[in-house]
Amino acid sequence: MHVVVNAAMSADGKLSTREREQVAISGPDDFDRVDALRAESDAVMVGVGTVLADDPSLTVDDDARRERRRNAGKPENPARIVADSRIRTPTDARVLDDRAETYLLTSEAAPQDFVAEITESGAEVIAAGDQRVDLAAALAELESRGIDRLMVEGGGEIIFSLFEAELVDELSVFVGPTVIGGWKAPTLADGDGFVDDFPELSLRDVDGVDDGVLIRWDVC
């Protein structure tokens, strides 16, 4: 499986505000690039923190891109994946609508009645891990279901865990022309953070996009 992490951060490295409210950091060209990246992916993944904060749809906006996927014999939208150990995803979340297939990665700690309820709402549950999602096991299970190209759209906690588990192949970051600030505002990689054995990145390219910069790295 090839895993691409994509996110937009402010010039000071924040993904959103201290109130965890969604901020449009990308401009139109970057949002269009993200839409193209979604269309090229078999699945788009977020952590449940992002579902609770943003209620994203994670679908492809552009009609022509969806049509190209259909013509290639694919579903018109990539699958959606939420890492959600105890099933905090609300049953009316947009990721559960019928525009795409949705997988919830859960743990053995997820209450069985929540599993039944979320399955009824249209999601397929993949349990991996005791208390928290075991990302390596969950991604291996997704790969066995035909997901070869995975795009991860955040947030900071799930991105950190994917780096910690050495599951990331590529990192794309749009650095936007704004400053958000705040000790508690989410950053690109939160969680416990590294104190050594930092992931090493190899610069692939840098482009000016909108009024910001798109930086793409390969993970060594």
Contact residues for ligand LIKH6CAM (CB under 6 A)?
Answer: 8, 22-26, 34, 46, 50, 54, 56-59, 153-154
Residue 106 CB, nearest approach to ligand LIKH6CAM (Å): 20
Residue from the set 30, 42, 47, 139 that interacts with ligand NDP by CB under 6 A: 47
Residue 174 CB, nearest approach to ligand LIKH6CAM (Å): 6
Binding status of residue 53 toward ligand NDP by CB under 6 A: yes
**79 contact, one of ligand NDP, ligand LIKH6CAM, none, CB 5-8 Å limit per kind:** none
Binding status of residue 153 toward ligand NDP by CB under 6 A: yes
- Closer residue to ligand LIKH6CAM in complex, CB, 127/187: 187
Secondary structure of the chain in HEC code, one letter for each residue: CEEEEEEEECCCCECCCCCCCCCCCCCHHHHHHHHHHHHHCCEEEEEHHHHHHHCCCCCCCCHHHHHHHHHCCCCCCCEEEEECCCCCCCCCCHHHCCCCCEEEEECCCCCHHHHHHHHHCCEEEEECCCCCCCHHHHHHHHHHCCCCEEEECCCHHHHHHHHHCCCCCEEEEEECCCCCCCCCCCECCCCCCCCCCCCCEEEEEEEEECCEEEEEEEEC
- Closer residue to ligand LIKH6CAM in complex, CB, 110/152: 152
Applying CB under 6 A, the residues found at the interface with ligand NDP are 7-8, 15-16, 20, 22, 25, 46-50, 53-54, 83-86, 88, 132-133, 135, 153-158, 161, 186, 190
